[in-house]
Amino acid sequence: MKIVVDENMPLSDAFFSGFGSLVYKAGRLITRDDLLDADALFVRSITKVDQRLLEGTKVGFVGTATIGVDHIDQRYLTKQGIACASAPGCNANAVVNYVLTCLLELEVSRGIDIDAAQVGIIGLGNVGRRLKASLETWGVKVVACDPLLDPRDVDGLVSMEEVLQSDVLSLHVPMVKEGAYPTHHLLNYKRLKNLRQNAVLINTSRGSVIDNRALRRVLADRSDLSVVLDVWENEPILDRELASIVDIATPHIAGYSYDGKVKGTEMVYQAFCRHLGLDVSITLNDVIDHALDVTLDPVVLENKGKVVALSLVSAAYSVMVDDIGLRSTLKQPREQRIAAFDQLRKHYRLRREFSTISVRNKEWMTSIMSKQDLNRLHAMGFCV
Protein backbone atom coordinates (compact mmCIF):
# COMPACT_ATOMS: atom_id res chain seq x y z
CA MET A 1 0.00 0.00 0.00
CA LYS A 2 1.25 3.48 -0.88
CA ILE A 3 0.17 6.49 1.18
CA VAL A 4 0.99 10.12 0.29
CA VAL A 5 1.23 12.28 3.41
CA ASP A 6 1.54 16.01 4.02
CA GLU A 7 4.99 16.40 5.57
CA ASN A 8 3.53 18.63 8.29
CA MET A 9 1.42 15.85 9.83
CA PRO A 10 3.27 14.90 13.03
CA LEU A 11 3.62 11.29 14.15
CA SER A 12 2.57 10.07 10.70
CA ASP A 13 5.32 7.47 10.62
CA ALA A 14 4.32 6.13 14.03
CA PHE A 15 0.67 5.80 13.09
CA PHE A 16 0.82 4.80 9.41
CA SER A 17 4.12 3.05 8.64
CA GLY A 18 2.57 -0.33 9.41
CA PHE A 19 0.18 0.05 6.49
CA GLY A 20 2.83 0.27 3.77
CA SER A 21 5.04 2.82 2.06
CA LEU A 22 4.75 6.47 3.08
CA VAL A 23 5.65 9.28 0.67
CA TYR A 24 6.00 12.71 2.28
CA LYS A 25 5.33 15.89 0.30
CA ALA A 26 4.78 19.56 1.08
CA GLY A 27 1.01 19.95 1.18
CA ARG A 28 0.87 22.74 -1.37
CA LEU A 29 3.06 20.74 -3.79
CA ILE A 30 1.12 17.46 -3.90
CA THR A 31 0.17 16.72 -7.53
CA ARG A 32 -1.90 14.20 -9.44
CA ASP A 33 1.31 12.49 -10.60
CA ASP A 34 2.19 11.80 -6.96
CA LEU A 35 -1.12 9.98 -6.53
CA LEU A 36 -1.37 7.84 -9.66
CA ASP A 37 -0.44 4.67 -7.79
CA ALA A 38 -1.35 5.83 -4.27
CA ASP A 39 -4.02 4.08 -2.21
CA ALA A 40 -4.58 6.87 0.32
CA LEU A 41 -3.92 10.57 0.77
CA PHE A 42 -3.46 12.32 4.12
CA VAL A 43 -3.45 16.13 4.05
CA ARG A 44 -3.92 19.31 6.04
CA SER A 45 -5.85 22.42 5.03
CA ILE A 46 -3.58 23.78 2.29
CA THR A 47 -4.07 20.90 -0.18
CA LYS A 48 -7.04 21.32 -2.51
CA VAL A 49 -8.47 17.83 -2.97
CA ASP A 50 -10.76 17.72 -5.99
CA GLN A 51 -11.26 16.11 -9.39
CA ARG A 52 -8.16 17.77 -10.83
CA LEU A 53 -6.00 16.17 -8.13
CA LEU A 54 -7.62 12.74 -7.95
CA GLU A 55 -8.99 11.86 -11.37
CA GLY A 56 -7.36 8.74 -12.78
CA THR A 57 -5.59 7.85 -9.52
CA LYS A 58 -5.99 4.78 -7.30
CA VAL A 59 -6.78 6.84 -4.19
CA GLY A 60 -9.63 5.26 -2.26
CA PHE A 61 -9.34 7.17 1.02
CA VAL A 62 -8.65 10.81 1.84
CA GLY A 63 -7.99 11.92 5.39
CA THR A 64 -7.55 15.53 6.45
CA ALA A 65 -6.08 16.16 9.89
CA THR A 66 -8.09 19.37 10.22
CA ILE A 67 -11.46 20.43 11.59
CA GLY A 68 -12.46 22.16 8.34
CA VAL A 69 -13.17 20.42 5.05
CA ASP A 70 -13.73 23.33 2.66
CA HIS A 71 -10.52 22.30 0.84
CA ILE A 72 -12.11 18.93 0.06
CA ASP A 73 -14.58 18.49 -2.81
CA GLN A 74 -16.73 16.05 -0.86
CA ARG A 75 -19.34 15.85 -3.59
CA TYR A 76 -16.76 14.60 -6.08
CA LEU A 77 -15.29 12.11 -3.59
CA THR A 78 -18.72 10.70 -2.81
CA LYS A 79 -19.54 10.38 -6.50
CA GLN A 80 -16.29 8.47 -7.06
CA GLY A 81 -16.76 6.24 -4.03
CA ILE A 82 -13.70 7.69 -2.30
CA ALA A 83 -13.95 7.58 1.49
CA CYS A 84 -13.16 10.79 3.36
CA ALA A 85 -12.50 11.58 7.00
CA SER A 86 -11.61 14.74 8.91
CA ALA A 87 -10.66 15.50 12.50
CA PRO A 88 -13.44 17.65 13.98
CA GLY A 89 -12.45 19.31 17.23
CA CYS A 90 -8.84 18.15 17.14
CA ASN A 91 -7.41 21.65 17.58
CA ALA A 92 -10.38 23.34 19.24
CA ASN A 93 -8.54 23.82 22.53
CA ALA A 94 -5.59 25.40 20.72
CA VAL A 95 -7.84 27.92 18.98
CA VAL A 96 -9.52 28.80 22.28
CA ASN A 97 -6.05 29.25 23.83
CA TYR A 98 -5.19 31.60 20.96
CA VAL A 99 -8.35 33.72 21.23
CA LEU A 100 -8.11 34.12 25.00
CA THR A 101 -4.41 34.98 24.75
CA CYS A 102 -5.22 37.68 22.19
CA LEU A 103 -7.86 39.13 24.50
CA LEU A 104 -5.33 39.36 27.34
CA GLU A 105 -2.86 41.07 24.98
CA LEU A 106 -5.46 43.61 23.87
CA GLU A 107 -6.54 44.19 27.45
CA VAL A 108 -3.02 45.38 28.21
CA SER A 109 -2.07 47.04 24.89
CA ARG A 110 -5.41 48.70 24.09
CA GLY A 111 -6.86 49.05 27.58
CA ILE A 112 -9.90 46.94 26.73
CA ASP A 113 -12.05 46.02 29.74
CA ILE A 114 -12.81 42.39 29.02
CA ASP A 115 -14.72 41.90 32.28
CA ALA A 116 -17.24 44.57 31.30
CA ALA A 117 -17.49 43.46 27.68
CA GLN A 118 -20.14 41.46 25.92
CA VAL A 119 -18.50 38.82 23.75
CA GLY A 120 -20.36 37.68 20.65
CA ILE A 121 -19.53 34.33 19.07
CA ILE A 122 -20.62 33.48 15.55
CA GLY A 123 -20.68 29.70 15.17
CA LEU A 124 -21.08 27.25 18.05
CA GLY A 125 -19.21 24.22 16.78
CA ASN A 126 -16.37 22.57 18.66
CA VAL A 127 -14.38 25.81 19.01
CA GLY A 128 -17.27 28.19 19.60
CA ARG A 129 -18.78 26.06 22.36
CA ARG A 130 -15.47 25.71 24.21
CA LEU A 131 -14.71 29.41 23.89
CA LYS A 132 -18.15 30.25 25.23
CA ALA A 133 -17.64 27.99 28.25
CA SER A 134 -14.20 29.44 29.02
CA LEU A 135 -15.40 33.04 28.79
CA GLU A 136 -18.39 32.34 30.98
CA THR A 137 -16.03 30.86 33.56
CA TRP A 138 -14.13 34.16 33.34
CA GLY A 139 -17.41 35.81 34.30
CA VAL A 140 -17.85 37.49 30.91
CA LYS A 141 -21.27 37.91 29.31
CA VAL A 142 -21.44 35.82 26.13
CA VAL A 143 -24.04 35.80 23.36
CA ALA A 144 -23.88 33.64 20.26
CA CYS A 145 -25.60 32.90 16.99
CA ASP A 146 -25.68 29.71 14.95
CA PRO A 147 -28.57 29.16 12.54
CA LEU A 148 -27.99 25.40 12.62
CA LEU A 149 -28.85 25.18 16.33
CA ASP A 150 -32.21 25.31 18.10
CA PRO A 151 -32.38 28.25 20.60
CA ARG A 152 -34.36 26.00 22.92
CA ASP A 153 -31.35 23.71 23.27
CA VAL A 154 -28.56 26.28 23.79
CA ASP A 155 -28.43 29.13 26.29
CA GLY A 156 -27.42 32.55 25.00
CA LEU A 157 -28.42 32.10 21.35
CA VAL A 158 -29.55 35.40 19.85
CA SER A 159 -29.91 36.94 16.41
CA MET A 160 -26.97 37.81 14.16
CA GLU A 161 -27.84 41.49 14.54
CA GLU A 162 -27.50 41.33 18.32
CA VAL A 163 -24.21 39.43 18.16
CA LEU A 164 -22.79 42.01 15.76
CA GLN A 165 -23.36 44.72 18.37
CA SER A 166 -21.08 42.99 20.88
CA ASP A 167 -17.95 44.60 22.29
CA VAL A 168 -15.90 41.58 21.17
CA LEU A 169 -16.77 39.50 18.11
CA SER A 170 -15.12 36.11 17.47
CA LEU A 171 -15.78 34.10 14.30
CA HIS A 172 -15.87 30.28 14.31
CA VAL A 173 -17.71 29.18 11.17
CA PRO A 174 -16.78 26.99 8.19
CA MET A 175 -16.47 28.41 4.69
CA VAL A 176 -19.83 27.92 2.97
CA LYS A 177 -20.53 29.57 -0.38
CA GLU A 178 -23.92 28.03 -1.18
CA GLY A 179 -27.08 26.96 0.59
CA ALA A 180 -29.30 28.60 3.16
CA TYR A 181 -26.52 29.92 5.37
CA PRO A 182 -23.49 31.02 3.33
CA THR A 183 -20.54 32.40 5.27
CA HIS A 184 -18.47 33.85 2.41
CA HIS A 185 -18.09 37.58 3.18
CA LEU A 186 -20.45 37.16 6.12
CA LEU A 187 -18.89 40.35 7.45
CA ASN A 188 -19.21 42.71 4.51
CA TYR A 189 -18.57 46.45 4.33
CA LYS A 190 -21.95 47.40 5.80
CA ARG A 191 -21.63 45.10 8.79
CA LEU A 192 -18.01 46.03 9.42
CA LYS A 193 -18.75 49.74 9.20
CA ASN A 194 -21.54 49.38 11.76
CA LEU A 195 -19.56 47.50 14.40
CA ARG A 196 -19.84 48.89 17.89
CA GLN A 197 -17.53 51.73 18.92
CA ASN A 198 -14.18 50.34 20.21
CA ALA A 199 -15.19 46.83 19.17
CA VAL A 200 -12.74 43.93 18.95
CA LEU A 201 -12.94 41.63 15.92
CA ILE A 202 -11.18 38.24 15.92
CA ASN A 203 -11.16 35.81 12.99
CA THR A 204 -9.67 32.34 13.36
CA SER A 205 -12.11 30.55 11.05
CA ARG A 206 -11.57 31.16 7.32
CA GLY A 207 -10.17 34.27 5.69
CA SER A 208 -13.06 34.87 3.30
CA VAL A 209 -15.63 34.98 6.10
CA ILE A 210 -14.56 38.64 6.28
CA ASP A 211 -14.36 40.76 3.15
CA ASN A 212 -10.70 41.75 3.57
CA ARG A 213 -10.86 44.71 1.18
CA ALA A 214 -13.89 46.05 3.00
CA LEU A 215 -12.17 45.62 6.35
CA ARG A 216 -9.16 47.60 5.10
CA ARG A 217 -11.49 50.41 4.01
CA VAL A 218 -13.26 50.46 7.36
CA LEU A 219 -10.02 50.47 9.37
CA ALA A 220 -8.79 53.46 7.35
CA ASP A 221 -11.66 55.43 8.91
CA ARG A 222 -12.03 53.73 12.28
CA SER A 223 -8.95 53.60 14.46
CA ASP A 224 -11.18 52.71 17.42
CA LEU A 225 -11.52 49.11 16.20
CA SER A 226 -9.13 46.38 17.38
CA VAL A 227 -8.65 43.53 14.93
CA VAL A 228 -6.99 40.12 15.20
CA LEU A 229 -6.61 38.10 12.00
CA ASP A 230 -5.14 34.63 11.86
CA VAL A 231 -6.75 33.77 8.52
CA TRP A 232 -6.74 35.72 5.27
CA GLU A 233 -8.37 35.83 1.90
CA ASN A 234 -6.20 34.35 -0.86
CA GLU A 235 -3.70 32.63 1.44
CA PRO A 236 -0.74 32.39 1.19
CA ILE A 237 -0.94 35.80 -0.50
CA LEU A 238 -2.55 38.27 1.83
CA ASP A 239 -3.39 41.96 1.84
CA ARG A 240 -0.14 43.51 3.06
CA GLU A 241 -1.75 46.83 3.91
CA LEU A 242 -4.45 45.14 5.96
CA ALA A 243 -1.89 43.00 7.77
CA SER A 244 0.14 46.08 8.63
CA ILE A 245 -2.76 47.90 10.30
CA VAL A 246 -4.49 45.18 12.31
CA ASP A 247 -3.51 44.80 15.96
CA ILE A 248 -2.45 41.15 15.78
CA ALA A 249 -1.63 39.37 12.51
CA THR A 250 -0.62 35.71 12.41
CA PRO A 251 -0.08 33.13 9.60
CA HIS A 252 -3.04 30.76 10.10
CA ILE A 253 -1.61 29.11 13.20
CA ALA A 254 -4.35 29.59 15.81
CA GLY A 255 -4.87 25.84 15.96
CA TYR A 256 -1.22 24.94 15.47
CA SER A 257 -0.52 23.42 18.85
CA TYR A 258 1.50 20.22 18.97
CA ASP A 259 -1.36 18.58 20.84
CA GLY A 260 -3.97 19.61 18.29
CA LYS A 261 -1.90 18.43 15.34
CA VAL A 262 -1.09 15.03 16.82
CA LYS A 263 -4.73 14.57 17.83
CA GLY A 264 -5.66 15.27 14.20
CA THR A 265 -3.24 12.60 13.01
CA GLU A 266 -4.66 10.14 15.53
CA MET A 267 -8.23 10.81 14.39
CA VAL A 268 -7.30 10.24 10.73
CA TYR A 269 -5.57 7.00 11.75
CA GLN A 270 -8.68 5.81 13.59
CA ALA A 271 -10.87 6.63 10.59
CA PHE A 272 -8.47 4.80 8.25
CA CYS A 273 -8.61 1.72 10.47
CA ARG A 274 -12.40 1.78 10.34
CA HIS A 275 -12.25 2.16 6.56
CA LEU A 276 -10.05 -0.92 6.28
CA GLY A 277 -12.10 -2.89 8.79
CA LEU A 278 -9.15 -3.11 11.21
CA ASP A 279 -8.99 -2.69 14.97
CA VAL A 280 -7.37 0.46 16.31
CA SER A 281 -4.11 -0.81 17.78
CA ILE A 282 -2.18 2.41 18.43
CA THR A 283 -3.14 5.17 20.85
CA LEU A 284 -1.73 8.65 21.12
CA ASN A 285 -0.19 7.80 24.46
CA ASP A 286 1.75 4.98 22.76
CA VAL A 287 3.56 7.32 20.37
CA ILE A 288 3.53 10.86 21.77
CA ASP A 289 6.95 12.26 22.68
CA HIS A 290 6.83 13.12 26.38
CA ALA A 291 10.28 14.71 26.07
CA LEU A 292 8.31 17.65 24.64
CA ASP A 293 6.34 18.14 27.86
CA VAL A 294 6.63 21.67 29.26
CA THR A 295 7.05 22.83 32.85
CA LEU A 296 7.00 26.56 33.54
CA ASP A 297 8.80 28.30 36.35
CA PRO A 298 6.66 31.23 37.58
CA VAL A 299 9.72 33.48 37.91
CA VAL A 300 8.05 35.58 35.21
CA LEU A 301 5.38 36.66 37.69
CA GLU A 302 7.06 39.82 38.88
CA ASN A 303 4.07 42.17 38.60
CA LYS A 304 0.72 42.08 40.24
CA GLY A 305 -2.65 42.85 38.69
CA LYS A 306 -3.95 41.72 35.33
CA VAL A 307 -0.50 41.51 33.76
CA VAL A 308 0.25 38.53 36.00
CA ALA A 309 -2.08 36.22 34.07
CA LEU A 310 -0.70 37.47 30.77
CA SER A 311 2.86 36.87 32.01
CA LEU A 312 2.22 33.20 32.64
CA VAL A 313 0.21 32.81 29.45
CA SER A 314 2.93 34.48 27.38
CA ALA A 315 5.55 32.18 28.89
CA ALA A 316 3.46 29.24 27.64
CA TYR A 317 2.51 30.82 24.32
CA SER A 318 3.37 34.32 23.07
CA VAL A 319 1.05 35.24 20.22
CA MET A 320 3.19 38.31 19.57
CA VAL A 321 6.05 36.07 18.42
CA ASP A 322 3.74 34.86 15.65
CA ASP A 323 2.71 38.43 14.90
CA ILE A 324 6.32 39.57 14.55
CA GLY A 325 7.11 36.59 12.33
CA LEU A 326 4.36 37.40 9.84
CA ARG A 327 5.05 41.14 9.80
CA SER A 328 8.69 40.47 9.00
CA THR A 329 7.59 39.00 5.64
CA LEU A 330 5.29 41.77 4.46
CA LYS A 331 7.88 43.81 2.56
CA GLN A 332 9.25 40.84 0.65
CA PRO A 333 8.50 40.31 -3.07
CA ARG A 334 5.39 38.26 -3.89
CA GLU A 335 7.04 34.86 -4.44
CA GLN A 336 9.19 35.23 -1.34
CA ARG A 337 6.14 36.12 0.71
CA ILE A 338 4.33 33.00 -0.49
CA ALA A 339 7.27 30.84 0.50
CA ALA A 340 7.71 32.68 3.80
CA PHE A 341 4.06 32.20 4.78
CA ASP A 342 4.37 28.45 4.29
CA GLN A 343 7.73 28.33 6.04
CA LEU A 344 6.28 30.02 9.13
CA ARG A 345 3.79 27.18 9.33
CA LYS A 346 6.11 24.36 8.31
CA HIS A 347 8.77 25.30 10.85
CA TYR A 348 6.39 26.40 13.57
CA ARG A 349 7.85 26.24 17.04
CA LEU A 350 6.71 23.75 19.67
CA ARG A 351 3.52 25.03 21.23
CA ARG A 352 1.71 23.03 23.88
CA GLU A 353 -1.90 23.52 24.92
CA PHE A 354 -2.32 25.14 28.30
CA SER A 355 -3.98 22.08 29.83
CA THR A 356 -0.81 20.02 29.24
CA ILE A 357 1.60 22.48 30.91
CA SER A 358 2.88 22.00 34.44
CA VAL A 359 3.77 24.92 36.72
CA ARG A 360 6.38 24.80 39.47
CA ASN A 361 5.87 26.43 42.88
CA LYS A 362 2.12 26.67 42.43
CA GLU A 363 1.53 27.45 46.10
CA TRP A 364 3.79 30.50 45.96
CA MET A 365 2.37 31.60 42.66
CA THR A 366 -1.23 31.40 43.77
CA SER A 367 -0.43 33.34 46.93
CA ILE A 368 0.52 36.45 44.94
CA MET A 369 -2.18 36.24 42.29
CA SER A 370 -5.61 37.80 42.40
CA LYS A 371 -8.69 35.60 42.39
CA GLN A 372 -9.53 37.04 38.99
CA ASP A 373 -6.19 35.93 37.54
CA LEU A 374 -6.49 32.46 39.04
CA ASN A 375 -10.03 32.12 37.69
CA ARG A 376 -8.87 33.16 34.24
CA LEU A 377 -5.98 30.72 34.24
CA HIS A 378 -8.26 27.89 35.36
CA ALA A 379 -10.69 28.74 32.56
CA MET A 380 -7.81 28.65 30.06
CA GLY A 381 -6.90 25.14 31.15
CA PHE A 382 -3.88 25.79 33.38
CA CYS A 383 -3.59 23.56 36.42
CA VAL A 384 -2.95 26.22 39.09
State how far the Cα of 357 lies from the Cα of 52, in Å rounded to an integer: 43
Per-residue pLDDT of the chain (384 residues; tens, 9 = 90+): 999 999 989 999 999 999 999 999 999 999 999 999 999 999 998 899 999 999 999 999 999 999 889 899 999 999 999 999 999 999 999 999 999 999 999 999 999 999 999 999 999 999 999 999 999 999 999 999 999 998 888 888 999 999 999 999 999 999 999 889 999 999 999 999 999 999 999 999 999 999 999 999 999 999 999 999 999 999 999 999 999 999 999 999 999 999 999 999 999 999 999 999 999 999 998 998 888 999 887 655 455 445 578 888 998 999 999 999 999 999 999 999 999 999 999 899 999 999 999 888 778 777 777 888 889 999 999 987
Q: What is the amino acid identity at position 32?
A: R
Q: What is the DSSP letter of 324?
A: H
**Which residues are registered as beta bridge partners of 142?**
119
Cα dist from 98 to 102, 112, 239, 286, 290, whole Å: 6, 17, 22, 28, 23
For 56, left (φ over 0), alpha (ψ -120 to 50), or beta?
A: left
Catalytic residue among 191, 206, 337, 351: 206
What pLDDT, on a 0 to 100 scale, did the predictor assign at position 289? 85
Pairing of strands 61-64, 2-6: unpaired
CB neighbour list of residue 44: distance below 8 Å, 6 or more residues apart: 6, 8, 9, 27, 64, 65, 66, 264
Pairing of strands 295-296, 358-359: parallel
Q: Is 235 a catalytic residue?
A: yes
What residue segments make up the domains of the chain, in order of their start?
A: 2-86+257-287, 92-249, 290-379
327: closest CA among 240, 256, 213, 254?
240
Catalytic residue among 105, 107, 233, 235: 235
Class level of CATH domain 92-249: alpha beta
State how far the Cα of 190 lies from the Cα of 325, in Å rounded to an integer: 32
Please give the model's pTM, rounded to 2 decimal places: 0.90
Which fold would CATH assign to domain 290-379? Ribosomal Protein S8; Chain: A, domain 1 (3.30.1370)
What pLDDT, on a 0 to 100 scale, did the predictor assign at position 299? 53
Q: Are 92-249 and 290-379 equal in CATH topology? A: no
State how far the Cα of 139 lies from the Cα of 35, in Å rounded to an integer: 51
Q: Is 206 a catalytic residue?
A: yes
Among the CATH numbers 3.20.20.370, 2.30.38.10, 3.40.50.720, 3.10.20.600, which is that of 2-86+257-287?
3.40.50.720
Catalytic residue among 172, 252, 345, 351: 252
- Size of the chain in residues: 384
